């Protein structure tokens, strides 16, 4: 099986409903080519999930994602969003463990493991984010750091379940900074992540898992990044808010 190549948009906490609708309309009006092994995913703010689902839900090779969900099934968790709620509106993807959530909302590796579990138990695909801060990169300890994130949040999964997870490597020093990892730095880390997966689950399983790069992906660097053998597309913040940019990023998938 050829693993999926994915362009995922992360709108974060941006745009009004009207601006979000306009952006989707603009995107749909532009020529784009999604081949059979390719997919575009839109992680929109929670209040816009149904709007996005209505506009994009019936499009082939296109999916809508939540930016977060909670680790519990239901109950007295005011303000949180359950996996069952996402399922009930037809949303089958969720971004988990984005560095902004880890940093500002104290999401830990074990807490994310719980979120991963409830998603997989309910047929929702997690887009699991990992990646090191600048001081770890400068100390040359990025593999150890990302290895621990994988270990503590994912490696309790069965081989069957790990193939249902999408991994996004996002070095924190490259997110929203305009500073992109070089294609060599991205490939090096993606190869490491795939080797860790192979070590844990075998090569055949590791080869099925999509590993996206995130961190200042733009139309101008997407082709080179996505051309790397272990880079299976991107998770895109800033550039996903500009229709021309994001369409070009979709068209850069291999």
Q: Count of residues binding ligand PEP (CB under 6 A)? A: 14
- Answer yes or no whether residue 237 interacts with ligand PEP by CB under 6 A: yes
Contact 34, 60 (CB under 8 A): yes
**At a CB cut-off of 8 Å and minimum separation 6, what does 19 contact?**
none
Which is nearest to 184 in space by CA: 215, 149, 220, 229?
A: 229
Here's the x/- map for ligand PEP, 126-165, by CB under 6 A: it reads as ----------------------------------------
Counting contacts by CB under 6 A, is residue 217 touching ligand PEP?
Answer: yes
* DSSP E strand boundaries for 68-162: 93-96, 125-130
Interaction mask 11-50, ligand PEP, x per CB under 6 A: -x--------------------------------------
The length of the chain is 254
Which secondary structure element, helix H or strand E, spans residue 185, and what is its range? helix 183-201
Q: What are the residue numbers of the active site?
A: 98, 170
Q: Which of 131, 147, 215, 233 binds ligand PEP (CB under 6 A)?
A: 215
Give whichever of 126 and 214 is closer to ligand PEP, judged by the CB atom.
Answer: 214
CA distance 49 to 237: 17
Q: Does position 10 bind ligand PEP by CB under 6 A?
A: yes
Closest-CA residue to 67 (of 122, 39, 105, 30): 105
Give the count of beta carbons closer than 10 Å to the beta carbon of residue 38.
19
Report residue 122: phi and psi, to 5°.
-120, 15
**97, 126, 214, 233: which one binds ligand PEP (CB under 6 A):** 214
> Is residue 216 within the footprint of ligand PEP (CB under 6 A)?
yes
Contact (CB, 8 A) for 170 and 137: no
Backbone angles phi, psi at 151, to 5 degrees: -60, -45
Task: Figure out which of the listed residues 47, 110, 123, 176 binds ligand PEP, where binding follows CB under 6 A.
Answer: 176
Which residue, 156 or 179, has its beta carbon nearer to ligand PEP? 179
Give min distance, CB of 179 to ligand PEP, in A.
9
The DSSP secondary-structure symbol of 174 reads G
From the list 21-29, 50-58, 73-81, 229-237, the region that binds ligand PEP by CB under 6 A is 229-237
Minimum Å distance from CB 169 to ligand PEP? Answer: 10
Q: Which residues bind ligand PEP (CB under 6 A)?
A: 10, 12, 170, 175-176, 214-217, 235-239
């Amino acid at each position: 099986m050829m693993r999926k190549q994915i362009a995922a948009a992360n709108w974060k906490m941006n745009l009004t409903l009207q601006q979000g609708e306009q952006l989707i309309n603009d995107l749909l009006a532009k020529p784009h080519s999604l081949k059979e092994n390719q997919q575009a995913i839109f992680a929109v703010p929670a209040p816009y999930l149904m709007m996005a689902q209505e506009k994009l839900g019936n499009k082939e090779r296109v999916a809508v994602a939540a930016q977060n969900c909670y680790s519990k099934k239901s109950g007295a968790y005011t303000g949180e969003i359950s996996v069952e709620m996402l399922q009930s509106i037809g949303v089958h993807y969720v971004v988990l463990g984005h560095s902004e959530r880890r940093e500002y909302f104290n999401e830990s590796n074990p807490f994310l493991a719980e979120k991963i579990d409830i998603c997989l138990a309910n047929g929702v695909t997690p887009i699991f984010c990992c990646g090191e801060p600048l001081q770890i990169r400068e100390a040359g300890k990025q593999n150890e750091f990302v290895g621990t994130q994988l270990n503590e949040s994912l490696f309790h999964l069965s081989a069957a379940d790990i193939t249902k997870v999408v991994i996004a490597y996002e070095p924190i020093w490259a997110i929203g900074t305009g500073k992109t990892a070089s294609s060599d730095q991205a490939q090096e880390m993606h190869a490491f992540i795939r080797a860790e997966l192979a070590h844990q689950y075998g090569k055949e399983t590791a080869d099925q898992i999509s590993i996206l790069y995130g961190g200042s992906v733009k139309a101008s660097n997407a082709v080179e990044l996505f051309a790397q053998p272990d880079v299976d597309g991107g998770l895109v913040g800033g550039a996903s808010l500009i229709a021309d940019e994001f369409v070009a990023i979709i068209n850069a998938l291999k």
